[in-house]
Structure 1
Amino acid sequence: MARITEPGTPSAAYPGVAYPASKTAVNVITVQYAKAFPNMRINAVEPGYTATDLNGNTGTQTVEEGAEIIVRMAQWARTARRGGYFDVTGPLPW
């Protein structure tokens, strides 16, 4: 929600309705699952604007670059933060 209202970002420029709404729902599910299962590391990640078929390969980074945060989060210690939203630079606002 914070980024979709930030002018100049890819999120704000996206014209669709269903895709951003579904991402918002996934964010809420992430928080609720993290609370329901406190012994599991449940977080959401933002891989960034990655060149894929979804955006006609117009993304500003490669799939490998987008995957970096996903791999990093999968390797976090069991005691790491839960119920958060992260990109390669760290925590993001919901």
Structure 2
Amino acid sequence: MTRSRSSALDAVTPQYAKALPGMRVNAVDPGYTATDINGHSGTQTVAEGVESIIAMATAGPDGPTGGYHDRHGPIPW
């Protein structure tokens, strides 16, 4: 599976993380999730799709910042 993402997102996420040291700033890829938008053709459930979003939203003050993540963990830039 190929990932589609924005070069602008790749560039701005670590910059925001550096500029806002008191916050955690991360980009999250929910993956190809079965939703109304794609006629439920996605390969994973909505519950699986939100795993990375919830993980980043609930990360504590010592959690990751400036990264790109999916439900399996960090994705290399």
Q: TM-score range by the shorter chain?
A: 0.7 to 0.9
The one-letter code sitting in structure 1 at the alignment partner of 2:16 is Y
- TM-score, normalisation: structure 2: 0.83
Identity of aligned residues (%): 53
- Kindly indicate whether the alpha-carbon contact (under 8 Å) linking 2:48 and 2:71 is maintained by their aligned counterparts in 1: no
Query: Aligned partners of 2:35, 2:61: CA distance in 1, in Å?
Result: 31
Q: Which residue of 1 aligns with 2:34?
A: 51
1:60 Cα deviation (Å)? 0.4
Task: Choose between structure 1 and 2: higher helix proportion.
Answer: 1
Q: Can you give the 5+ residue segments of structure 1 that lack an aligned partner in the other structure?
A: 1-8, 12-19
Q: Which residue of 2 aligns with 1:84?
A: 67
Query: Aligned partners of 1:41, 1:72: CA distance in 2, in Å?
Result: 12
Paired residues for 1:1-94 under 5 Å: 9-11=1-3, 20=4, 23-94=6-77
Query: Aligned partners of 1:36, 1:59: CA distance in 2, in Å?
Result: 35
1:39 Cα deviation (Å)? 1.0
- TM-score, normalisation: structure 1: 0.70
